[in-house]
Structure 1
Amino acid sequence: MEEQKDVLGRLEAAVEKKLQELGGVNSRLQRKIFDLHAIFEITRQLNSILELEKLLDAILLVASEQAGSATAAMVITSSNPEELSFWRSRGLISVENLPPLSGNSHLAETLLRKKRGITLSELEQILPADSKEVCFLKSLRLELCFPLTSREKIIGILFLGPRSSKGKYQALDLEFLSTLVNNLAVTVENARLYQSIKTANLEVQRAQVQLAEKEKLAALGELAASLAHEINNPLGIIKNYLALLQQESHKNQSSLEYIEIIKDELRRVANIIQELLNLYQPQKKEEFKPTDVVSVLHESLDLLESDLEERHITLERKIDGSASVISAREEELKQVFLNLLMNSRDFTPPGGKINVSLIQRNGNLEIEFSDSGIGIPESDLKKIFVPFFTTKEKGKGTGLGLSICRRIIQEHQGNIEARNLKGGGASFLIRLPLN
């Protein structure tokens, strides 16, 4: 009897132990089901974000909240697939200017091999204590690293700081976060693919616009050449007969004056035709070559400085003499600078001032011509670069100079804009890319 009780007691204890084990397994399964559901919901929501920067910021927010950490950082591959260089962070000082991490670094290779998150203490056991990766993590107080992989290659690394509660990360935390990050790697790849498709579509649209513009210019070039031919023929005949009239009318002073007026107008028509051809008809151009824009600008200003002095107009130069060499056509740039300077001169009264400046800003050379003249009527600002539009008096401008300037600057991958100054006068700003 006692023996039976002993056996039953052992059976009850064994059953109790098994029930406890099953309870523990059930709890872990419940936790895993809950975690997987949470991962599914998080991934589903983040999959709807297609803008890469917004997606990375959202991943940092979700990961840090799930981990209970106030700080997080992330780096992914950019243009070079072998280099992790595109940084984002949350709760840290700006990491956007941090140096890139090599895709072949010890940290990247360790994460790729383990295919899961690792702690700083674990990394210290694998890598030398003075390794760059360990020192980097310590400097930013980051404790966890997770790999984002695609096709057996590392495309990014997620870093997490210490828990806000100062508790340690547990094995289940690492398992959950590793699974989450593995799923989000696909989301990041989708966003990058969307970004590349979007960029490609923009390039196609830009190419289509350029092609349409070229076709339009080609058609206008043919029209300009045809018009020039048709107009030049009668102009030649008129010039010949004017020469004969001049010979016969040398005694009649008033006739000679009329003939001179007609000749001036004919020259003006010829100039308009030539500028029309220059604007729309493709010309054989010099090659782009390294050009010192500062030197070209000074040369252009020197050519008109004495003329400005005679008109009692002050020319002030504020030109940054540092590196300003770009790939350009020197003569065309000089043509633009002279045209803008003469334009400022024509609208600046005696005693006025013209300011010319050159600075480097945001990867561009910015060249500005500003004057103290009457400015440009607001209604004319949008039309100022339209061919044949001019604000000058009749007979003093063809309206093609600024159109040619804009075409030249656009061919140099730059842009030009006009605006009025608050204190009076107008400004023309050119931006030319340094690269």
Structure 2
Amino acid sequence: MKINTQLPLAKWGGIIILASLHFILLNIYGKNYENELSIFPVLVAGWFFGRRAGMVTAFILLAGYVLILYIKAEPWQSIFDANFILNLLILSLSGIGTGWLKSIYKTQNIQDVELKNRLREADALAKISIALSQAERVGLAGILQLIVDSAKNLIPSAEQAVIHILDEEKKYLVAQAASGFQDAPENRLRMQLGKGIAGQAILSGETINITDTNTDARFLRANNTPRFRSLLVTPIVGGEEKLGTISVQSELANAFTQHEQELLGALGVQAAIAIENARLLESTQQSLKETNALYRINQGLVAFTVDELLEDVVNLLKENFGYYHVQVYIVETQSKEFILKAASGEIGKELLEQKHRLQAGAGIVGYVAETLMPFFSNNVDEVVFFIRNPLLPDTKSVLTIPVKIDAHLFGILDIQQALPKNFSTRDLQVVSSVADQLAFALQKAELYQSLQDALQHEKSMRNQLIQSERLAAVGRLLASVSHELNNPLQAIQNALFLLKEEKGISEQGKQDLNIVLAESERMAGLIERLREAYRPIREEDYKETQINNLVNDTYALLATHLRHNQVEFEFIPDNQLPTIPVLTNQIKQAILNLVINAMEAMPTGGKIIIQTQHLPESDEILISVTDTGKGISANILPNIFEAFITDKETGTGLGLTITYDIVTKHHGHISAKNNYGAGATFSVWLPTKRLELV
């Protein structure tokens, strides 16, 4: 501690002045002077400098008394009289007594100061203990700041105090709280373990007291001169774990005592308790967040809406764990590209609106998809295959987890973090658990979707079976009716032929008779086609046919009827269309049915467009019939090809059913859809190669 050398000199100066006055008066008055002032120098010397100083001063005064009287030629008997003996006793006892009283006063004062210091220390430690009990409200930073402030205030020579805490990787000491620093230098904020006195103290586990930085070899000087001479550093240890250091420094050499080392150690214990409590609290809160996250994801397992589940997961992770950005990619089956399915925050909404996707194998997401292993880095600048998104410029750390069950990959959970936060192994464990739960949820949703598809397929097959049974019933009915009609029709035709051979029929009668014969022949042909349509098909019935020719034949047959109904007709043929094996009359009937259906959909006129197209990649040809009518009613569109389904007042609902049956027998398929704006389009696909008979 710093000692003021001027104060003792001033005290001795006062003693000398008093003694000089005493000697002056003695020299003037001699024996007549009663030594009234002699006691004051003795009292002052005894009080300020102790018993020995008081006795020495008394003897000096008595020696001066004898010397002056001797010079003044006083007789020895007069000098050493009873008054001299009395003065000797008074002055000696006064010097001794005053020094003794001062020592008692000093001891008491030291005890009082010591007691006050202990009370201050106890009060400071009590405040720290109270703060520790309220750690959740005060926070670790507040408690550590209270500790360094207490260290600076309780240690008189301490001018600055600082607490360094080891980072998660146990490589650096990072300043967490400081007191007394106006402009803390950068090296105070972060120090490598083992470097500097603080680094040495935490490695050794012992308190280090640098009494003088100019002479102590343990203190390694940097380029600049330190602002302190004394440095006291004690490690902060919790159990067996080294947590950090607490240190104080002073401009004075030899500034810190053993008691102050012990006090700093006690503050270090409080800091260790604060850090461990904070970590325990953080761990508990983290566990609660993890439990809540897993619970909410498990709750999501009961819902089969994948989009809602993914959106809930990304928002939950961002809100509960404070991540910078969370997103989920789904692998597209055909292209193997990664399609963004869910993303957090406003940036996520923007990415979803952009329909963001990544190429197969691109970036960290592609790497994880290929390896099926988690990947995380706290410095993406060192990852050569990292692709930075312009909307996420602050990304510094990345944690990417495959959402999979065994080797089946459902998607990729990609999480990004910004400074000052980093990912830890705890984050890896938590997010991996979330990814596992998400995988089970997606698997369940996938199974549910497969079940729905299977049920829908089964329903469709059942409807087709019912329709086939209806068509079979219609076929049997038509075959029966055509058979029953054929017999009387043949009788009518025979009678007409006989009547035609008779003589005496007028010319008008002959003309009328020819018309009746022609119509009866047409009716016979119609009945024959109905019988052919529903009799067993033989392989030799299939003929290589040019569909373009059938379309032209259909137009020739209906041209007059189309003009009468003010319907335009346009045919766009594919000139490279190959011939295909078909039942010519049946396919012609199917095209005829589609054109008549389109024409009836435009009672006030319109336009019909027929287009043919060769599809070599699927070995098919496509026939499309488009009209500009009112379109197909939404309530009958799904069942448009079922028997007796129609929205026409005069229709039977069998034309499209017969067409569907004809196309199906040819191993083709047919569809109907409403066009954008107006009208409808019927599309027929027929194979170009002969297949097994239906």
Q: If the TM-score is normalised by the length of the shorter chain, which range does it land in? A: 0.5 to 0.7
Report the RMSD for the aligned CA atoms in angstroms: 5.6
Partner of 1:414: 670
Indicate whether 1:199 and 2:453 are aligned.
yes
Aligned counterpart in structure 2 of residue 159 of structure 1, from 395, 410, 414: 414
> What's 1:220 paired with?
474
Query: 2:464 is aligned with what amino acid?
Result: Q
Contact 1:272 1:398 in 2 (8 A): no
Task: Answer yes or no: is the 8 Å Cα contact 1:43–1:183 preserved in 2.
Answer: yes
AA aligned to 2:500 is Q
Instruction: Please say if residues 77 and 83 of structure 1, whose CA atoms lie closer than 8 Å, have aligned partners that are also in contact.
Output: yes
Change (3 A) 1:196 1:238: same
Structure 1 residues 414 and 167 mapped into 2: Cα distance closer, same or farther (>3 Å)?
farther
Distance in 1 of aligned mates of 2:498 and 2:485: 21
Give the Å deviation of 1:167.
Answer: 4.8
- Distance, in Å, in 1 between the alignment partners of 2:506 and 2:653 is 36
**Matched residues in 1 for 2:540 and 2:340: separation?**
42
Q: What is the alpha-carbon distance in structure 2 between the residues aligned to residue 19 and residue 339 of structure 1?
A: 90
- Pairs within 5 Å for 1:82-231: 83=336, 85=338, 87-90=340-343, 91=348, 92=351, 93-95=353-355, 98-101=358-361, 106-110=367-371, 112-114=372-374, 118-119=376-377, 121=379, 124-125=382-383, 129=384, 131=385, 134-135=386-387, 137-138=388-389, 141=392, 143-162=398-417, 167-171=420-424, 172-231=426-485
**Matched pairs, number:** 400
Cα deviation 1:270-317 (Å, max 9, x = unaligned): 3553454466556457999xx9xxx95697258737985995978564
Stretch deviating more after TM superposition (47-56 or 202-211): 47-56
Report the residue type matching 1:106 in the other structure. Answer: Y
Structure 2: gaps spanning 5 or more residues = 1-258, 614-620, 688-694
- Secondary structure of 2:413 counterpart: strand
Secondary structure, counterpart of 1:26 in structure 2 = helix
- How far is the alpha carbon of 1:391 from its aligned partner? 7.8
Question: Which of 607, 620, 639 in structure 2 is aligned with 1:354?
Answer: 607
Question: Is the alpha carbon distance of 1:118 and 1:433 closer, same or farther for their aligned partners in structure 2, counting shifts above 3 Å?
Answer: farther
Amino acid at match of 1:430: F
Query: How big is each residue's C-alpha offset from its partner over 1:183-240, in whole Å with a ceiling of 9 and x where there is no partner?
Result: 2221111111111111122112222222222233233333333333333233333322
Q: Equivalents in 1 of 2:646, 2:289: separation in Å?
A: 68
Q: 1:278 & 1:322 partners in 2: Cα distance?
A: 31
Aligned to 2:93: none
Q: Give the Å deviation of 1:23.
A: 2.1
Q: Alpha-carbon deviation of 1:50?
A: 0.6
Report the alpha carbon displacement of residue 35 of structure 1 after superposing the two structures with TM: 2.1
Q: Which residue of 1 aligns with 2:222?
A: none
SS at match of 1:228: helix
CA distance in 1, matches of 2:428, 2:648: 71
* 1:397-408 paired onto structure 2 within 5 Å: 401-408=655-662
Partner of 1:367: 624
| Matched letter for residue 304 of structure 1 | Y
What is the CA distance between 1:10 and its match in structure 2? 11
CA distance 1:434–1:214, change in 2 (3 Å)? closer
Instruction: Report how far residue 429 of structure 1 moved.
Output: 1.6
Task: Name the SS for the 1:168 alignment partner.
Answer: coil
Q: CA deviation digits over 1:367-399, x for unaligned, max 9?
A: 344369xx8999xx9999766989899xxx998
Mapping for residues 2-401 of structure 1, pairs under 5 Å: 19-20=273-274, 22-24=276-278, 26-66=280-320, 68=322, 72-77=326-331, 79=333, 83=336, 85=338, 87-90=340-343, 91=348, 92=351, 93-95=353-355, 98-101=358-361, 106-110=367-371, 112-114=372-374, 118-119=376-377, 121=379, 124-125=382-383, 129=384, 131=385, 134-135=386-387, 137-138=388-389, 141=392, 143-162=398-417, 167-171=420-424, 172-248=426-502, 251-253=505-507, 256=510, 259-260=513-514, 262-267=516-521, 269-274=523-528, 276-277=530-531, 283-284=537-538, 296=547, 300-301=551-552, 304=555, 308=559, 315=568, 317=570, 336-341=590-595, 354-356=607-609, 367-370=624-627, 401=655
Q: Deviations over 1:336-371 (max 9, x none)?
A: 445544666799999x763426599xxx97934436
Check the 8 A contact 2:339/2:357 in 1, yes or no: no
What is the letter of the counterpart of residue 118 of structure 1?
A: F
Q: Counterparts of 2:408 and 2:286 in 1: how far apart (Å)?
A: 27
Higher RCO (CA 8 Å, separation ≥ 6 residues): 1
Deviation at 1:256, TM superposition (A): 4.0
| Shift in Å, 1:124 | 4.4
